[in-house]
């Protein structure tokens, strides 16, 4: 366990050294600039748009970190040949995979926490500068705690994407891993269509195959509750728990597959 924590801490330090957290500055500047500009353009919809923008930007920045760092977690060690010195130490292969994953998840957690704080700060400022009468027209308060539900599911989704990237990283090149991870991310938003495929095709076999693919591929659409939260639509605890549970099981399966493949790789 200690080894996993040490590797995780190393991955986190490396991401700080690589200036990954600089994206936080960009995020904060973008939010502040947008809050000023959008107020002039959106006919009183500035708080809604800042919420939409803040949540979407958190997801996009997180996605890029998850994919572009995730794909290099293992393959970079192999390319640099530093994997030999790593494996010559008392580090077991599964510890390396788990530690790398935990380190990137920690980076994402810090990233999302700081972004959430920046978003709440901007929204709090907007709320503070508005009149009480104007605020009554908002569907939800500017600093609505329900935004945390959307941020939490974004984080869980990014954990899943990180696991996908790490999985591909154990057996393919960084470029191919990036293509495959982005491909799965896109497909993951469309695969609900596969569930209804059997109703529109004549062949039963194709329908069953589509059903199998539906359950096999990651279903990322349920993690998106941004619009519901912004429009004050309630997200039940049961929904959050089931969606998180799904992610937990899927991440577990991906990490297990990654460990299995990595354990059998020959680095001689």
- Binding region for another protein (CB under 8 A): 38, 41-45, 48-49, 52-53, 56, 59-60, 134, 136-137, 139, 185-186, 189-190, 220-221, 223-224, 226-227, 230-231, 233
Here the tokens at position 39 are 């107020």
- As measured in angstroms, the least distance from the Cβ of 30 to another protein is 12
> Distance between CA 104 and CA 162 in Å, rounded?
8
- As measured in angstroms, the least distance from the Cβ of 57 to another protein is 9
- Tokens 């599911």 appear where? 153
Here the tokens at position 98 are 């788990």
> Distance between CA 82 and CA 79 in Å, rounded?
8
Closer residue to another protein in complex, CB, 56/86: 56
Which of 262, 263, 264 is closest to 75 using CA atoms? 262
> Distance between CA 209 and CA 197 in Å, rounded?
9
Closer residue to another protein in complex, CB, 171/182: 182
- As measured in angstroms, the least distance from the Cβ of 222 to another protein is 10
- Tokens 């500009």 appear where? 37
- As measured in angstroms, the least distance from the Cβ of 213 to another protein is 18
> Distance between CA 117 and CA 151 in Å, rounded?
11
Closer residue to another protein in complex, CB, 34/165: 34
- As measured in angstroms, the least distance from the Cβ of 179 to another protein is 17
Closer residue to another protein in complex, CB, 83/122: 122
Closer residue to another protein in complex, CB, 18/139: 139
- Tokens 């693919």 appear where? 213
> b or e along 188-223 (b: 16 or more beta carbons within 10 Å of the residue's beta carbon)?
beebeebeebbeeeeeeeebeebeeebeeebbbeeb
Closer residue to another protein in complex, CB, 92/231: 231
- As measured in angstroms, the least distance from the Cβ of 225 to another protein is 9
């Amino acid at each position: 366990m200690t080894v996993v924590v040490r590797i995780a801490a190393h991955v986190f330090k490396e991401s700080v050294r690589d200036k990954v957290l600089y994206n936080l500055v960009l995020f904060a500047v973008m939010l502040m600039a947008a809050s000023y500009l959008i107020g002039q353009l959106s006919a009183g919809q500035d708080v809604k748009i800042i919420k939409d923008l803040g949540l979407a930007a958190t997801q996009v920045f997180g996605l890029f970190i998850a994919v572009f760092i995730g794909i290099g977690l293992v393959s970079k060690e192999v390319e640099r040949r530093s994997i030999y010195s790593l494996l010559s130490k008392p580090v077991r292969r599964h510890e390396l995979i788990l530690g790398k994953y935990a380190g990137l998840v920690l980076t994402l957690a810090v990233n999302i926490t700081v972004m959430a704080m920046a978003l709440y700060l901007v929204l709090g400022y907007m709320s503070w500068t508005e009149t009480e009468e104007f605020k009554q027209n908002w569907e939800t308060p500017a600093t609505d705690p329900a935004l945390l539900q959307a941020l939490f599911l974004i984080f869980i989704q990014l954990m899943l994407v990180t696991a996908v990237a790490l999985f591909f990283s154990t057996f393919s090149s960084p470029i191919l891993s990036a293509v495959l991870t982005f491909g799965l991310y896109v497909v993951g938003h469309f695969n609900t269509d596969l569930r209804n495929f059997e109703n529109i095709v004549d062949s039963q076999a194709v329908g069953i195959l589509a059903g199998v693919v539906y359950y096999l591929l990651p279903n990322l659409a349920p993690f998106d509750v941004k619009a519901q939260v912004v429009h004050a639509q309630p997200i039940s605890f049961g929904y959050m728990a089931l969606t998180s549970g799904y992610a937990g099981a899927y991440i577990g399966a991906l990490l297990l597959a990654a460990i299995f493949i990595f354990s059998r790789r020959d680095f001689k």
